């Protein structure tokens, strides 16, 4: 039997069986949808295959689709699985990604379980279209926003999934009253876009709708400098002016002084991060074999990540693989740290874990990323300085380099940014304030009789 076009619906009889193309209501123009059935090559078991494709809005569109589908089937190319739903495919896709970092896998899982599965998981993968994604993102942006309109079915499914969830990266924010940010929508879209790109390459779908969706504009979170006015306001209210804050050179120096005076064990690590701008996974993943601490050229190399190290994979892009120059102070601190590490090794003997890492705990084991982040936050609180995140220490490094007159391209290369313009755009708001602070400091250095009085 050759391929054919027919009209079907989802009505059921009294026994619960689908009527399909035998429903008497199909005579009505607005009842049911048009489907195509065509001949496909036999399966691996030799059984005959006659897949369905649809629904199509009318018979004309279905008639046009039939020859194309039959031609694709006759060509021998893989036939899309037209019974596979988005939810099951996303689980298969995630399970097949063997080399993900734990944090990335958790983010994908969160996106799937909180948004993608309840929002579009019930749709057949081959039927997913742009309007489905548009409806999902619109519903996401309505979460925690008051409205007098009746919530859509998509929004109701998202709210039910949100109410059940008690885990993941949003564990502390699941039940707050803040709307989802445009950045969150874009991250969820990035997840489904990656999954659909894989499906398209594997010929599971003939069309990737994620490439044609207009996303909400996400505001860049540019760093702000901790100016005296902002520090005073923070001391009065306890509220940070923005999510990304940067210390002035004087504040960074005060923090390093605090670490040195308190003889913090990881003083050298934080000094490298604050002055050279390494990411936390990069600094935790440094190997002694990739450092040069003597001679006229002193460097640390951020090279290939280890295939067997899930925790410390820290390279984001090709630009992240770089050689970072060291000044005499940082080189001296690392030499002192290496002596301390050798003493630790002699002290613990056979219990020493020879990881080859530059920075380790007192048993030679690589430092865990979350431990480093929490330790930094505690040290900042104890120092009494205005708060910054560990990642913001990279911005401090950039600020110090720019204050010292370094070229923007040099700063970009040192930080491992892919594009020079990204570095310039990121620090556009910091540079004027930094220049103003430098001007005030220069004037303050001039002895004046009026000030002495």
**What string of pLDDT tens digits covers the 453 residues of the chain?**
467 888 888 888 888 888 878 888 888 888 888 888 888 777 667 778 787 777 788 889 888 888 888 887 777 666 666 678 999 999 999 999 988 878 788 889 999 999 999 999 999 998 899 999 999 999 999 998 887 788 899 999 999 998 888 754 455 455 667 888 888 999 999 999 999 999 988 878 878 999 989 988 877 778 888 989 999 999 999 999 988 899 988 899 999 999 999 999 999 999 999 999 899 989 999 999 999 998 788 888 887 444 333 333 444 455 567 888 888 999 999 999 999 999 999 999 999 998 999 999 999 999 998 899 999 999 999 999 999 999 999 888 888 888 778 888 888 888 888 776 777 777 766 777 766 655 655 555 566 565 455
The per-residue pLDDT for 319 is 53
Separation between Cα atoms, residue 144 and residue 294, nearest integer Å: 57
Q: Please give the Cα distance from 72 to 65 (Å, whole number).
A: 11
Taking alpha carbons only, the member of 221, 199, 225 closest to residue 210 is 199
| DSSP for 26-75, written as a single string | GGSTTSSEEEEE--B---TT---B--EEEEESSHHHHHHHHHHHHHHHHT
What is the reported pLDDT for 349? 93
Spatial CA neighbour of 101 closest among 391, 312, 368, 285: 312
Q: Which of 187, 206, 186, 182 is CA-nearest to residue 196?
A: 206
Tell me the C-alpha distance between 147 and 143, whole Å: 10
pLDDT of amino acid 26 = 85
- 41 touches 73 (CB < 8 A): yes
| 336, 342 contact by CB (below 8 A) | no
């Amino acid at each position: 039997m050759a391929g054919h076009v027919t009209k079907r619906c989802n009505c059921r009889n009294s026994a619960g069986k689908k009527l399909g193309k035998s429903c008497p209501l199909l005579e009505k123009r607005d009842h049911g949808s048009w489907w195509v059935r065509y001949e496909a090559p036999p399966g691996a078991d030799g059984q005959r295959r006659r897949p369905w494709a649809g629904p199509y809005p009318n018979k004309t569109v279905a008639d046009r689709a039939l020859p194309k589908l039959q031609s694709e089937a006759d060509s021998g190319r893989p036939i899309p699985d037209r019974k596979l739903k988005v939810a099951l495919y996303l689980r298969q896709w995630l399970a097949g990604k063997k080399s993900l970092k734990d944090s990335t896998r958790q983010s994908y899982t969160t996106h799937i379980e909180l948004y993608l599965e309840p929002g579009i998981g019930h749709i057949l993968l081959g039927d997913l279209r742009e309007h489905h994604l548009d409806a999902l993102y619109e519903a996401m942006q309505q979460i925690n926003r008051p409205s007098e309109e009746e919530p859509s079915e998509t929004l109701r499914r998202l709210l039910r999934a949100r109410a059940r969830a008690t885990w993941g990266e949003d564990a502390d924010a699941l039940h707050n009253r803040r709307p989802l940010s445009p950045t969150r929508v874009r991250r969820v879209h990035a997840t489904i876009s990656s999954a659909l790109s894989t499906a398209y390459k594997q010929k599971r779908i003939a069309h990737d709708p994620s490439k044609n969706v207009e996303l909400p504009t996400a505001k860049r979170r540019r760093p702000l400098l901790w100016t005296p006015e902002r520090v005073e306001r923070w001391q009065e209210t306890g509220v940070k002016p923005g999510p990304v804050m940067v210390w002035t050179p004087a504040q960074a120096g005060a923090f390093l002084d605090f670490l040195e005076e308190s003889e913090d064990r990881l003083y050298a690590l934080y000094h490298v991060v604050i002055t050279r701008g390494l990411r936390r996974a990069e600094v935790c993943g440094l190997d002694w074999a990739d450092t040069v601490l003597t001679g006229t050229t002193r460097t640390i190399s951020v090279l290939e990540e280890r295939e067997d190290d899930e925790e410390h994979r820290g390279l984001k892009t090709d630009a992240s693989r770089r050689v970072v120059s060291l000044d005499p102070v940082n080189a001296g601190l690392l030499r002192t740290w290496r002596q301390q590490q050798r003493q630790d090794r002699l002290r613990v003997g056979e219990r020493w874990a020879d990881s080859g890492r530059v920075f380790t705990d007192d048993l030679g084991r690589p430092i865990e990323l979350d431990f480093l982040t929490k330790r930094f936050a505690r040290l900042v609180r104890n120092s009494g300085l205005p708060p910054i995140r560990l990642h913001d220490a990279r911005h401090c490094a950039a600020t110090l380099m720019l204050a010292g007159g370094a070229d923007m391209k040099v700063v970009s290369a040192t930080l491992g940014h892919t594009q020079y313009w990204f570095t310039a755009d990121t620090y556009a708001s910091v540079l004027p304030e930094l220049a103003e602070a430098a001007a005030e400091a220069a004037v303050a250095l001039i002895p004046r009789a009026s000030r002495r009085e």
